[in-house]
Chain A
Amino acid sequence: MSMLNRKTPDFDSVYNTYADLLYRVALAKLCSSADAEDAVQDVFLKYMTRPPIFFNENHEKAWFIRVTINQCCDIARRRSYHPTLTLDDIHDIAAEDEASVSDLMDKLSRLPKKYRETVTLHCLEGFSLSETAAILGVSLSATKMRLSRAREMLKEQQG
């Protein structure tokens, strides 16, 4: 296992690596482009002002996602409204993808928050069940259960 030392963070490098991923995770959780931008901004500020020590790239990625989810929870707690995501909010979306993104966001927004983040990481971002469990800080069985219930809820809504 290679140990990464605490060093002056290279903003451009980490931004290019994680910005899109974190923005999508935040957007899926908050259903608001403006709030998602705020969350991502806060995460990078946190990283740049107090860079943690990472043991490897997976650890780094997990840290970014975990902090983004926490930041989203803070923002969701603070805000007093329930936003509805419009496609105009999402940057540069292709015309042929509009319907798909709209359907997907609609499905996500109907899920409870804790199911939403599990589904986002596993089904959309492609993390394995164990990675998803590790990022969310829950057990593997809890992750499986959340996914299962999320599927059932979506089926019920569609049926």
Chain B
Amino acid sequence: MFSDKEIQAYKKISAPPELYGKIKSSVTTKSRFIPSVVIKTVGAVAACFIIAVAIMMFGANPEPDIICNGQELQSSMLFYDISPASDKRESSVLSVPFEIELREDTEIVLSCGRLVTSEGESVDGILKKGKLEIWWEIPESDKKIDCEMVLKGEKTTTVITLTYDNAKKAVRATKTTK
């Protein structure tokens, strides 16, 4: 099939010298690469875990974010009634601004007063999730009692209560979540 000369010539074929260095460097890179793959995998798993925890803590929280009179309403806060409606001309109405971020469709129910937008439109009923900028207007007649705003979602119910201190002209807002 092949002559001896051909076989001898074939056996003289050797791997090119540069192949040694090429493979050696690849082996070294590969050796370093394996731990880095492990580190990357562990890092990715840890990152996923952190993201999952963050989603559980923040993202999946159905509770609405509520800013009352320019400050985040945690559980309770006190502020003075400086709304334009409290001046002498229209002293009968307490007007408190709210920014509410609804994380689910929510039904809003008031025990007193009414909710209006900056354009003066009334807000009530079931609202789609999203950001809401509204004023809660409470007439003079209701300032003596605690007024409640109930934000009733599918997963959570939040109650905001406004208590008016007529002597100090101050309002205490409290928030409870069920």
Q: Tell me the A residues contacting B by CB distance below 8 Å.
A: 11, 15, 19-20, 22-24, 27-28, 33, 37, 40-41, 44-45, 48-49, 90-94, 97, 100-101, 103-104, 107, 119, 123-124, 150-151, 154
Contacts and interface: CB of A to CB of B under 8 A. Distances in A.
Contact of A23 (B3, B9, B15): B15
Interface string B97-139: 0000000000000000000000000000000000000000000
10 contacts: A20-B15, A23-B13, A23-B15, A24-B11, A100-B3, A100-B5, A101-B6, A101-B9, A101-B10, A119-B1
Given A90-B13, A101-B9, A45 B1 contact: no
B19 A101 contact: no
B38 interface: no
B22 interface: yes
Nearest to A97: B9
Interface string B10-29: 11111111011011101100
Closest CB pairs A-B (n = 3)? A100-B9, A97-B9, A23-B15
B34 interface: yes
Interface residues of B, number: 26
Given A20-B13, A91-B14, A123 B2 contact: yes
B31 interface: yes
Given A20-B14, A151-B1, A15 B7 contact: no
A11 B21 CA distance: 11
B15 A19 contact: yes
A92 B14 contact: yes
B40 interface: no
Interface of B: 1-3, 5-17, 19-20, 22-24, 26-27, 30-31, 34
Contact of A91 (B17, B24, B27): B17
Chain B at the A interface: mostly helix, strand, loop or mixed?
Answer: helix
Chain A at the B interface: mostly helix, strand, loop or mixed?
Answer: helix
A37 B6 CA distance: 22
B114 to A, nearest CB: 73
A94 to B, nearest CB: 7
A150 B1 CA distance: 9
B10 A48 contact: no
Given A41-B22, A101-B9, A107-B2, A49 B14 contact: no
A93 B26 CA distance: 26
A97 B12 contact: yes
A37 B11 contact: no
Given A15-B23, A41-B19, A44-B23, A103 B6 contact: yes
Contacts of B27: 11, 44-45, 48-49
